[in-house]
Chains A and B, each alone.
Chain A
Amino acid sequence: EAQVTQNPRYLITVTGKKLTVTCSQNMNHEYMSWYRQDPGLGLRQIYYSMNVEVTDKGDVPEGYKVSRKEKRNFPLILESPSPNQTSLYFCASRTALNYGYTFGSGTRLTVV
C-alpha cells in the first residue's frame, strides 16, 4: 500500500531532551515536507526537501532540523524541545510533477 509512515504516533517528552520523529514513504516521491498543526493556525510548513541532500526552511523552522540522506526517509529532529513545540506534526510527500501531497497519520507531541 502506498503510504507515508510516521513514528511515533504519540510522544510525551521533557523540555530539552532531544528527540527524532521518523517519516518514511514508499512511493519513490522526490518531495517531502514537514508541517505542524495548531488550533486556529491551520498547518504551517516547517521544512521541505526537493530530493536527497536538498532541504530548505519553511515558515516555522526555528527549533527544528531535518536531513534527507535517503529518498524514502525524512526525519524531523528537535535538538532541545520546548513546550511551544507541543503540536500535531505531519509528514507529507509528493512527486515532482504532482502538487498534491500525500500525508502521514500524524505525530502528536507534548513537551512538558
Chain B
Amino acid sequence: AQSVTQPDIHITVSEGASLELRCNYSYGATPYLFWYVQSPGQGLQLLLKYFSGDTLVQGIKGFEAEFKRSQSSFNLRKPSVHWSDAAEYFCAVGAILTGGGNKLTFGTGTQLKVEL
C-alpha cells in the first residue's frame, strides 16, 4: 500500500526567504505525485503534479517540486515566500487500484507560517 510522509508539521519562514517542504512517499510502481495547498476555511487547491518526464515540475504561484526516485522524495520549493503563502500544504501520491479504480493518499500536512 502506498503512503506519504511529511516530516515537518509546522514550518516558519520570513517573508522573502526561500522555502522547502519535504515529502517522502512509499509506492511500488512509478508514482503519480501531487502537492495541494489549503488556505484557512478553504478547500484544497492543486499546486502541481508529476506523472512522468521531467523530474522538475513547475506549478502555480511560483512553486516547483523535484521528483527524486532514488530518495523517494517530492519536495516542494519556492525561492521567495510571500505572506499570502501561509497555509497548510499536503503532499499526495496517486495509485491505480486493481479493478481500475484509483486512490489518492495524502500526507498529514505541513502548516506554513510566514513572518513579516
Contacts and interface: CB of A to CB of B under 8 A. Distances in A.
Interface in A45-72: 45, 48, 50, 56, 58
Contacts of B109: 42
A100 B49 contact: yes
B106 A43 contact: yes
B73 interface: no
Nearest to B47: A100
Task: Say whether chain B's binding surface is mostly helix, strand, loop, or mixed.
Answer: strand
Q: How large, as a class, is the contact surface on chain A?
A: 20 to 34
B67 interface: no
B90 interface: yes
Interface of B: 4, 32, 34, 36, 42-46, 49, 51, 90, 94, 99-109
Interface of A: 4, 31, 33, 35, 40-45, 48, 50, 56, 58, 90, 92, 99-106
